[in-house]
Amino acid sequence: MDVRLEQAIMNRQNIPSLRLSVRRILSCNGMSLYENPCFNRVLDRLHDSDSLMIDFFDGMDLTLDSDGLEQCRDIIKGYIGSDLTDGYIEYAKAEDGKIEAMNTQIKLLSESPASDLKKIIKEPEIYCRNDLDYADTLFELCKTELQARSVFNLVRNAFRRGVERFLEIIWSIPFRVRIKRLKRQIELEI
């Protein structure tokens, strides 16, 4: 079973879509000197899009999902070539398909009654048409879902969400200051 799937079940969340770093794409292909012009062009094209996320943790970086990569295909192609750009886009779309399938599994498991999950755990082979690999996976999925429904896990998730919210508030203050500075610099350049 995929670790992301197990963690998402235990945390009662969906798996987020894949995001690729523009900085890493350029540096892996020997184009790290051209980060700033590439960032500017991507920002000009996707400034109001959900496909773009600005990452301040590692300096300044832009992360794109598969739609953002598709929209910026010609920009990225200008820096690393069309074959590599197409490869990154195909990879991102394939991962999006896997993530969508895993999120569907999470939804189906969370909507299933506990009695059905317990029946599957007792005899997973019956539900898998004698496919033992899938039977093992189904057994693990159902077992993880029942563990995720335990009181201990529900308390753990509530505590984790509270800590995440607290940290989000604390971390947002310096980022607001950085964003204001970034806006001022952009306004001065214009």
Give per-residue pLDDT as tens, 62-92: 899 999 999 999 999 999 998 999 999 999 9
Task: Give dist(CA 22, CA 64) in Å, integer.
Answer: 7
Q: What is the pTM of this model?
A: 0.76
Query: What pLDDT sits at residue 97?
Result: 95
Residue 182 tokens, joined: 């970034």
Whether 99 has a pLDDT exceeding 80, the answer reads: yes
Tell me the pLDDT tens digit for each residue of 123-156: 877 777 767 778 888 889 999 999 999 999 889 9
